Structure 1
């Protein structure tokens, strides 16, 4: 594409100005990039308008629930948590926290005497500090709380969402520093080994560092407008270093190659035209993958997508502007400070190995496919039992305070009781009415019957407890009153009897019984006046009907009690009431999420509705909404990537193959992720505690990131194969030339990506570890098994179909007249059929997965246009098409431009055919002879011209076409293999004949 050549010339002309602009940009970015972490926020898992989020909003608006809470865990050294000494020390530690303006309340054991605030071991206690501000603002107060609750008598751990997010931010900064300490030196060593020059090795590192700094500065301003996740910092740094160094590596390598054939003024534009074009389309592929994250409704995912897009944009911009300017200034000095002698062009490191391996693969492609398939299946196998979840503090290393506090709560407290399933029910009347209480009772019973539910707390259970306490208190009061009344009655009867004795000298017969009965009657009347009766519906043992509970809760003395009043305000608001279902399992496991689904499936009582929220429900909704959008993101990424590659290579099968092999790389990384982080293998080496599941966001992050990054090497490799194919090489030889030409540089690039991303596998946060390890594994598999074995095997099997329908720019459709029309009609028909298959597949996919039909129709319509447009253009514009350099060279050498001789005939369109068909070996000899002639001519050496020798000074186009091809000496084996395969095919064909036309590679091509 000449636009890249023009860009290269422009940058070279104004190279000092470009360098000055980038220098100013870097200096200004250095002031903002270090402050990015201050603007990043934790969380970002809300925004899908799920039931759990609706419950959270209702709780905040109607039930006055705090928008954010910090949990402070207290641990005494040998002290009983319920003791007076322990509680006094705890209250003293909380006194300063209560004075904070943002704190709305603090609740602890000393405030409520609720035994759930005490640990099972009896050595720990916790307090809840509620804030009036959201989590992202409370995050900034977590350190203040930690400083204020420090106690000499007790050990404290501050945890909860605000504290966890603060620690994640600090851990991310530490992870970046640690990764850079390992990544930069190792990447520099790899570059020195690849280039053999300190200057050439330093340039990619410079470009990578510049890309990261500018990207972080740009994100600083973006984070001031939109919420950006804390994980943006590590992901941006990881991708910026990897892509920036990789792109620069490819460009520097091509520049050194071009520098061997021309001046700097021509080498820079040629580098941008070739490597720059590949970098642009590779960056586009990465950008497409990361853009897939924008399909998800969560800030966490979208912010990473935005940051990734910025990283790619800056990295590509630096590779297409800053890097050419630096190369133009350095010129031949790019090879300065060599640490070893540079190998001559064509002697690529390991070229013989790559050529021999490719030749072996092409001899036995099916066997290779089976072997590679078995290896990839082995790598994929662990992913078949993948389980996803949503971790919180467990993503942090154990040394962080919020992680230690959260682990303590899980081990020694009723953790499920702290994070229950919350059900907000809407009732037709006042929640404290008998009718509403009956409906709450029925709903609570149905929830309680659900498997994995330990208990259900609600306003009904509060009423039952209040009724029992009220009945118990009345019973105790009655017992005390009866005892007192019996004593009083006995004293009164005794006094009256003594009076009778004094008056009559003796108690008259029968009078004593009458006196005592009367005294007891009077005492009973007094008890009745003093002790109220139990309300209707309440038995003496506290058992109550809904009417009885309503009567009890309506009593002023009951409502005025602090405990009941607080519970009523917590469980009832307006026409809504809250039920809290405590699970038997941890709220983070799949069993708890399944319980949420069962609760939601419960049929509510008549005239009652409910929503289910809480931590388990929030996680279930998050995972469901996350993976509910996966088909849209996958369809977008795969579809647009296919179209971009189709337009890049003008082939139907090359993009399809690239998409498939990228998916294989992705599945290998999934297997590694499950093997390590779910199953816990290598946890000792990598330094983490196994989760027992995979973070639900990781498979999606890995897909969108790896799909684009691993496409890099596919694009670079196919671009070089395409160059060889367009210059006249056969499909087999083109693959060999592309592999040999890119083997060393792609291996070095892959090694750098593995080093950079692998360094993040040794950081602290598990999410960062997983992304780093997954990228490293995917790139390693892609650069070895897939690129060395799978790609050559598939391209060998497909043959020239690899490049259908585009063929060669310089040598496609040489036949004329009726043959050309038949060929065009055949390919157009095939294109229509292929487009129809794609469309049908799209509609079937839509019906199965529920995708948006409009998106599928649009993608397939674009695909149809992309398929048919080249055919139409060739059909109407091919007759007067200007011949390419490869065609002209072939025509001159094959004599097809010579006047017609006897024995030749002309078709109706003026085409001519030779009486004797040239064999492939003869044509190849012609091409080899021409290559040698052009090489001699390009160097100004004498050449033979009949019986005379003359010196030919080649023009610049001839010099470019005469450049020696890297690894050409290794292609003879492929040509022998090709001849053997063709001879075998011709033998099988027997006497089959047909008109033949000669392609730009000099081999006879049978017209369709």
Structure 2
């Protein structure tokens, strides 16, 4: 008896002895999960957690230290549209004044730092500045409300108040929408909750129906339903304290939900199909459970652990978005695996009389052949009729032509990967239909998009009152002009103590505001506005550091921003080399650009580590040098096909107009290829290991190389195909999300599963294994084969 079988027998006896205790333990855990798991979604975040050694982290740290008001303020923007004409009319003027009055008289008045808009600035004598709040077509206007950062509860209450106030005051025929970073994030969380509801109400039932068609037993269907429920609840329960301790990105719950549905049903299919097969063969319940764990349990164990390791590779990226997706995915995989290897067999053992007696088994026993010869003859007939047996014979007979044709198709498809481009655009992570997203898109189209995501140049003089001299003013003005001349940005995008959206501010004009030498300048309303909006805001406490506010005319998360940031940093470096000052570029866009650069520098290393880990695990499992190498090659082929197809679909647009939900995606989000890589590796392993385990089982029982491959495919082809269909259905739930990155992720995974299931594992792998023959198991030496295709166990 082998070491594996001895361990399985001991484990089965342990489960038999403590089965009731195991079930009660899981029931207690799920009881806590019902209480805490729903809170996990509300604890998610939109923080990226940029590494500390990046220029953006250093710059943003200085920004928070020297200009704390920037960090403690949140901007809420009202977008006002008149579809039938201009917004420069008495309707909007009356609305603006009434809205201002309502805010000033409300309980939230102390939260408001400033309220800026066209009519407020015109009233203050700042007509030129006021035009920045009206679109060129005059049919759209914005108002900015800068609010002190408070608790999420109080800020949400304030936003609710704004919604009610707008509903009461909104003139007929106008559209007034709210947007802002906090509102967008709250809508992201709501979109995540809706995605989970879709998966629960649509995707899960369809996947369970497909599983029921395979198992053909209503009793056994109880197991995967319990597995899904317990896996979801426990995974979210485990992630709740993690989300309390560290930022977990907002769409992690949606990814976890898809994985749990896919893997729970996948693992249940592998386990229960083997359990049912052993019962039909006449095994008693305990033996059926033991054999189920020895074969299917071993397969899902190796596959699940390997998949979790692949996802944990994302944790080592110092970026919160990727790290928390990797952590959340690993948690749900290991939880699902643990439930399927403990709770599922415990239920089968505890309720043996219920689960081991089902209608199909009764029919099989009634039609059971009377003699061993009759049984073998019937099994041989079933084998010969099987479509998977016929595919196996075809794939092994024409193995070399199949491999050549596959490579011929793969080469041009792989070349298409060169066309694949990525984007850091926030459109990929914002829910499409949300009003805040609609307002944000209007803001980007009609105004300077940098209003909600400005960037900042910080200049440190490292001496008190170091900014109060004409030479420093001249330097900042020259810097602004150089950046405007050498990059694709206008002089109107800059605001600071020496520059006001297109015009320079002379030192002698600014000096009284900065140095407080003449209080009489504050007597006029316009002077008060100037001091509040510019001079107090853009200088630190001891006048040693100045901040230049940049609100670019291009999308601060668009395709151009990366080049602009790099070019601006080069200009700033030249200034730093020729002066005694320190220059920094801060803002959320700089964080994302630095994060993406770091991720793609680390990505090849992550690929190499995962490949090595996969190779070692599979080599140890099958005691072979060739099998893990072949597996890595076929997975690489799947990856090249999928990324090539992805480039054709998203970058070239071959499906535009055919799949509406995908037609507005022109590039992949920068995180999608990195996230999908880990799971594509794991999914390729999942089905390959299941097929290989059965092929190895036949070869160890004395069958020839070709017979082992064909019989292995015959036994697993139907299960792998149904598992692939179920997993594709589970991942397709993300295609119907309102968030682009989930559409991309779901589409890639669903497509990859189908290609891997019906082409790679079904045709290419048998062809390669047949051609490799005895080298499949090298350096392990197996006994000479004594059985062939027509031999039945």
Note if 1:317 corresponds to 2:326.
no
The correspondence for 2:114, drawn from 76, 81, 105, is 105
Note if 1:435 corresponds to 2:471.
yes
Equivalent pair of 2:427/2:740 in contact (CA under 8 Å): no
SS in 2 for 1:572: coil
- Aligned twin of 1:567: 534
- Aligned twin of 2:481: 445
1:618 is displaced (CA, Å) by: 3.1
SS in 2 for 1:805: coil
The correspondence for 1:11, drawn from 5, 9, 15, is 15
Deviation digits for residues 484-519 of structure 1, max 9, x if unmatched?
Answer: xxxxxxxxxxxxxxxxxxxxxxxxxxxxxxxxxxxx
Deviation digits for residues 318-374 of structure 1, max 9, x if unmatched?
Answer: 111111122222457446244996697677789733233333333333321222223
Counterpart Cα distance in 2 of 1:162 and 1:970: 68
- Aligned twin of 1:152: 170
Deviation digits for residues 355-399 of structure 1, max 9, x if unmatched?
Answer: 333333333333212222233445545432122122325544543
Counterpart Cα distance in 2 of 1:155 and 1:423: 35
Q: Structure 1 length normalisation: TM-score?
A: 0.68
1:144 is displaced (CA, Å) by: 4.7
Deviation digits for residues 743-791 of structure 1, max 9, x if unmatched?
Answer: 1111111111011111321222222222221111111111111112221
Counterpart Cα distance in 1 of 2:150 and 2:44: 15
- Aligned twin of 1:276: 297
Counterpart Cα distance in 1 of 2:161 and 2:561: 34
1:203 is displaced (CA, Å) by: 2.6
Counterpart Cα distance in 2 of 1:340 and 1:685: 46
SS in 2 for 1:668: helix
- Aligned twin of 1:232: 252
- Single out whichever of 291-300 and 210-219 deviates more from structure 2: 210-219
1:658 is displaced (CA, Å) by: 1.6
The correspondence for 1:600, drawn from 569, 579, 600, is 569
1:167 is displaced (CA, Å) by: 0.8
- Aligned twin of 1:182: 202
Note if 1:589 corresponds to 2:558.
yes
- Aligned twin of 2:261: 241
The correspondence for 2:622, drawn from 646, 649, 656, is 649
Counterpart Cα distance in 2 of 1:23 and 1:174: 27
- Aligned twin of 2:29: 25
Cα distance, 1:377–1:72 mapped onto 2, change above 3 Å = farther
1:275 is displaced (CA, Å) by: 1.1
Deviation digits for residues 883-915 of structure 1, max 9, x if unmatched?
Answer: xxxxxxx8xxxxxxxxxxxxxxxxxxxxxxxxx
- Aligned twin of 1:636: 609
Equivalent pair of 1:37/1:230 in contact (CA under 8 Å): yes
Equivalent pair of 2:312/2:326 in contact (CA under 8 Å): yes
SS in 2 for 1:156: strand
1:882-893 matches, within 5 Å, as none
Counterpart Cα distance in 1 of 2:442 and 2:151: 22
1:14 is displaced (CA, Å) by: 3.3
Instruction: Indicate the structure whose relative CO is greater, using CA pairs within 8 Å and at least 6 residues apart.
Output: 2
Counterpart Cα distance in 1 of 2:46 and 2:644: 28
Cα distance, 1:684–1:631 mapped onto 2, change above 3 Å = same
Cα distance, 1:692–1:420 mapped onto 2, change above 3 Å = farther
1:738-777 matches, within 5 Å, as 738-777=712-751
Note if 1:392 corresponds to 2:426.
yes
- Aligned twin of 1:133: 149
Note if 1:363 corresponds to 2:419.
no
The correspondence for 1:83, drawn from 89, 96, 99, is 89
Cα distance, 1:94–1:256 mapped onto 2, change above 3 Å = farther
Equivalent pair of 1:75/1:123 in contact (CA under 8 Å): yes
1:970 is displaced (CA, Å) by: 8.5
Equivalent pair of 1:425/1:611 in contact (CA under 8 Å): yes
- Aligned twin of 1:425: 459
1:678 is displaced (CA, Å) by: 4.5
Counterpart Cα distance in 1 of 2:420 and 2:208: 37
The correspondence for 1:709, drawn from 664, 672, 683, is 683
Cα distance, 1:234–1:465 mapped onto 2, change above 3 Å = closer
1:226 is displaced (CA, Å) by: 2.8
Cα distance, 1:26–1:50 mapped onto 2, change above 3 Å = same
- Aligned twin of 2:640: 667
Equivalent pair of 1:439/1:608 in contact (CA under 8 Å): no
Cα distance, 1:552–1:762 mapped onto 2, change above 3 Å = closer
1:162 is displaced (CA, Å) by: 0.9
SS in 1 for 2:80: strand
1:509-908 matches, within 5 Å, as 556=518, 560=522, 561-565=527-531, 566-573=533-540, 574-581=543-550, 583=552, 585-602=554-571, 603-604=574-575, 605-679=578-652, 681-682=655-656, 685-687=659-661, 690-808=664-782, 811=783
1:72 is displaced (CA, Å) by: 2.0
Deviation digits for residues 849-879 of structure 1, max 9, x if unmatched?
Answer: xxxxxxxxxxxxxxxxxxxxxxxxxxxxxxx
SS in 1 for 2:38: helix
Counterpart Cα distance in 1 of 2:150 and 2:606: 31
The correspondence for 2:494, drawn from 457, 480, 491, is 457
Counterpart Cα distance in 2 of 1:313 and 1:465: 57
Deviation digits for residues 644-680 of structure 1, max 9, x if unmatched?
Answer: 1121111122112222222332333333444444455
1:40 is displaced (CA, Å) by: 2.0
Deviation digits for residues 676-733 of structure 1, max 9, x if unmatched?
Answer: 4445535663435624321111111101222213311011111111112222223222
Counterpart Cα distance in 1 of 2:501 and 2:713: 78
1:953-992 matches, within 5 Å, as 968-969=789-790
Counterpart Cα distance in 2 of 1:276 and 1:81: 67
SS in 1 for 2:723: helix
Larger radius of gyration: 1
- Single out whichever of 41-50 and 761-770 deviates more from structure 2: 41-50
1:550 is displaced (CA, Å) by: 6.4
- Aligned twin of 2:75: 69
SS in 2 for 1:710: helix
Counterpart Cα distance in 2 of 1:294 and 1:158: 35
Cα distance, 1:593–1:135 mapped onto 2, change above 3 Å = farther
Structure 1: runs of 5 or more not aligned? 469-543, 812-889, 891-922, 929-967, 973-1008
Deviation digits for residues 899-952 of structure 1, max 9, x if unmatched?
Answer: xxxxxxxxxxxxxxxxxxxxxxxx74xx57xxxxxxxxxxxxxxxxxxxxxxxx
- Aligned twin of 1:950: none
Equivalent pair of 1:71/1:127 in contact (CA under 8 Å): yes
- Single out whichever of 571-580 and 600-609 deviates more from structure 2: 571-580
Equivalent pair of 2:395/2:402 in contact (CA under 8 Å): yes
- Aligned twin of 2:125: none
SS in 2 for 1:612: strand
- Single out whichever of 120-129 and 743-752 deviates more from structure 2: 120-129
SS in 2 for 1:579: strand
Equivalent pair of 1:686/1:762 in contact (CA under 8 Å): no
Structure 2: runs of 5 or more not aligned? 123-129, 368-377
- Aligned twin of 2:374: none
1:47 is displaced (CA, Å) by: 4.6
Counterpart Cα distance in 2 of 1:110 and 1:162: 26
- Single out whichever of 16-25 and 338-347 deviates more from structure 2: 338-347
SS in 1 for 2:755: helix
